[in-house]
Homo-oligomer: A and B are copies of this chain.
Amino acid sequence: MAIKVIAFDADDTLWDNEAYFQEAEKKFCVLFEDYLPQHSVSRELLKTEIQNLNLYGYGIKGFILSMIETAIRITDGRVDSKTTWKIIEIGQAITQMPVNIMPGVEEVLPVLRTRYRLVMATKGDLVDQERKLRKSGLERFFHHIEIMSEKKEDDYRRLIKRLDILPEEFVMIGNSIKSDVLPVLNIGGHGIHIPYHLTWEHERVDTQVEHANFRQVEKIKSLLEHFASGQ
């Protein structure tokens, strides 16, 4: 059955994102190196973030709150308000970052949209993702923008239903095997993985994917050949 909808993840697929979070985290770790070695601060932060995921979801606000919580814990309550304010500034600075479009994106999208419905399916905070979308100038290429709180099988089922297509007519493209590929393969769709050099610890999987509906490409430009020759 032919593909009707091509869905793109956004963060670290269409534009850089993880690098900004890692940069912020690095600054956070430096702030507390009198208390703990940097890698331990980092591990504590990750622990807090995972614990808070249900409560806060993904995005900058939850990241700031998790940093503040971690700071209180690892300093045993000795963190002062000046440092708390620095943490807020470290997080807010991420919102000021430019949106760097990945190489090839602006060549690939205009071509694919003439033959497929293009969807942006991104996980995260509404305000963060809309800000990046606006800055990116990519909105015009997409038929539909879906900002999801999670990317699990049920979330994709709902999206596919709303698009009024069958799972086998849907392909998801992204840098996360865990969020962009596996759940889509599991419900009968297609997945294309474009690796990014940075992956958030929590998104890492060790699985080797072997599946008829799975492809991996090194660069987004390869999608032109892939979709030109039919799948």
Q: How far is the CB of A155 from the nearest CB of chain B, in Å?
A: 10
A144 touches B (CB below 8 Å): yes
Nearest residue (CB) in B for A143 is B162
Q: Taking A55-B95, A56-B127, A126-B147 as contacts, is the C-beta distance between A69 and B81 under 8 angstroms?
A: no
A144 / chain B contacts, CB cutoff of 8 Å? 162
B residues less than 8 Å from A69 (CB atoms): 85, 88
- CB interface residues, A 11-69, toward B, < 8 Å: 55-57, 61-62, 64-65, 68-69
A62 CA to B65 CA in the complex, in Å?
10
Distance A61 CA – B59 CA, assembled complex (angstroms): 10
Chain B residues lying within 8 Å of A55, measured Cβ to Cβ, are 92, 95, 127
Chain B residues within 8 Å of A79, by CB: 81
With contact pairs A56-B127, A68-B68, A126-B149 given, residues A81 and B77 touching in the complex (Cβ less than 8 Å): yes
Whether A130 is near chain B, meaning CB under 8 Å from some CB there, is yes
Which residues of A, 83-138, contact B by the 8 Å Cβ criterion? 84-85, 88, 92, 95, 125-127, 130
Residue of B at shortest CB range from A149?
A: B126
CB within 8 A of A81: which of B78, B95, B130, B148?
B78
Query: What are 20 pairs between A and B in contact, CB < 8 Å?
Result: A55-B127, A56-B61, A57-B125, A57-B127, A61-B61, A64-B65, A65-B65, A72-B85, A75-B81, A77-B82, A77-B85, A78-B81, A81-B84, A84-B84, A126-B126, A126-B147, A126-B149, A127-B149, A130-B149, A144-B162
6 smallest CB-CB distances across A and B, nearest first, come from A57-B127, A61-B61, A126-B149, A77-B81, A72-B81, A79-B81
